[in-house]
Amino acid sequence: MAPPQGSRAPLEFGGPLGAAALMLLLPVTMFHLLLVARSGPARLLGPPPYLPGLEELWSPWALLLCLTWLGLQAALYLLPARKVAEGQELKDKSRLRYPINGFQALVLTALLVGLGVSAGLPLSALPEMLLPLAFAATLTAFIFSLLLYLKALLAPASALAPGGNSGPHQPGVADTGSRTSGESLAGHVAGQWLPATEAVLTTMDIIHDGFGFMLAFGDLAWVPFTYSLQAQFLLYHPQPLGWPLASFICLINAVGYYIFRGANSQKNTFRKNPSDPRVADLETISTATGRRLLVSGWWGMVRHPNYLGDLIMALAWSLPCGVFHLLPYFYFLYFTALLVHREDRDERQCRQKYGLAWHEYCRRVPYRIVPYVY
């Protein structure tokens, strides 16, 4: 909503200059990672093996494939869903309705890909198309961001994010999957196919951040091409991984997913119905806003247990690549910085929103993400 007369909403991500820098830096970083992952040394901090020309980046087939994929997912989203969830209350007191059919779309997509492979779909050509696909996704994201910005100029103030009308084109980064022997690459990819649930509707991406470059570029380009960096690394640098170690890594991933889903589900259940038997016995702190803060269960362990689960999964997705290259751990390092920054943003918002109640919550739950560490 537009800030009151005489006041100004705080700018995040460094304001206009920081936003512009991120819009340039993030695509450059993504292409750097794609290039060094396929190089022999695979050095995260080293220069790329070469700079691709436009003829290597641009492919009408890659753009067509990208748009076809987006069209398919949009069509699957429109299919009837067994469950429809309501989002958080908006400034005009209305609520958006979301069909919960992501798992359904995942299964149908996998079936379609399987049918395509059996019919001769050349999936083996995709690794060589990564650069033009990344370029097509980036181009699509920038065009989409521009359209969203123009739409925001015409939208009512109640439809804008808190910082969405504060001047800059405000970005951030979200928070959305051979030649190897098989188990390392398969173990990594399998870990990233865990579907999200309706608890995502209570995350900062949905309830606070505006829909602009942050989510458009993040979901269309950054997530698919950098979160899969470990799989790309293993494709060109196979690593030995026995089944005992593979099983241990899968266990670490399962623990992370259990914490992540358990924390988000507990928060989502409590927000929807504090009297639900699954959360009714949890200890809470009352606030001046009428809401209550959980100080037991997952949210009594640390202030952001979902971030802890996220980081454990990020580490598990990198471990199949061994420990002799830093490049596959870029996702874990980047994600740590991202979540620490996001936690700091959330901390400031909650302190302003809940006042003394938040100070009491911080006293009761002193650790932010990792117990006894941070």
Burial of 93: CB neighbours in 10 Å, binned 0-12, 13-18, 19+: exposed
Average pLDDT over residues 301-309: 93
Q: Give the Cα separation of 92 and 235 in Å (integer).
A: 50
pLDDT at 346: 86
* Structure confidence by residue, pLDDT tens digits, 34-47: 999 888 888 888 88
pLDDT at 175: 33
| Domain regions of the chain by residue span | 14-238, 242-373
State the residue for tokens 């206009």.
16
Average pLDDT over residues 215-227: 90
* Structure confidence by residue, pLDDT tens digits, 354-369: 888 888 989 999 999 9
State the residue for tokens 């990208």.
66
Helix (H, G, I), strand (E, B) or coil at 280: coil
Strands (E), 152-308: 284-286, 292-294
Is residue 169 within 8 Å of 19, Cβ to Cβ?
yes
Is residue 237 within 8 Å of 41, Cβ to Cβ?
no
Helix (H, G, I), strand (E, B) or coil at 94: coil
Cross-strand partners of 84 = 99
* Structure confidence by residue, pLDDT tens digits, 8-18: 555 666 677 88
pLDDT at 201: 64
pLDDT at 12: 66
Average pLDDT over residues 228-234: 90
Going by pLDDT thresholds of 50, 70 and 90, the confidence category of residue 7 is very low
Q: Give the Cα separation of 364 and 303 in Å (integer).
A: 10
The model's pTM is 0.74
**Residue 299: pLDDT above 50?**
yes
State the residue for tokens 């003394």.
356
Going by pLDDT thresholds of 50, 70 and 90, the confidence category of residue 222 is very high
Going by pLDDT thresholds of 50, 70 and 90, the confidence category of residue 121 is confident
Going by pLDDT thresholds of 50, 70 and 90, the confidence category of residue 189 is very low
Query: What average pLDDT does the chain have?
Result: 81
* Structure confidence by residue, pLDDT tens digits, 133-179: 999 999 999 999 899 888 888 877 767 776 554 444 443 333 333 33
Q: Give the Cα separation of 27 and 33 in Å (integer).
A: 10
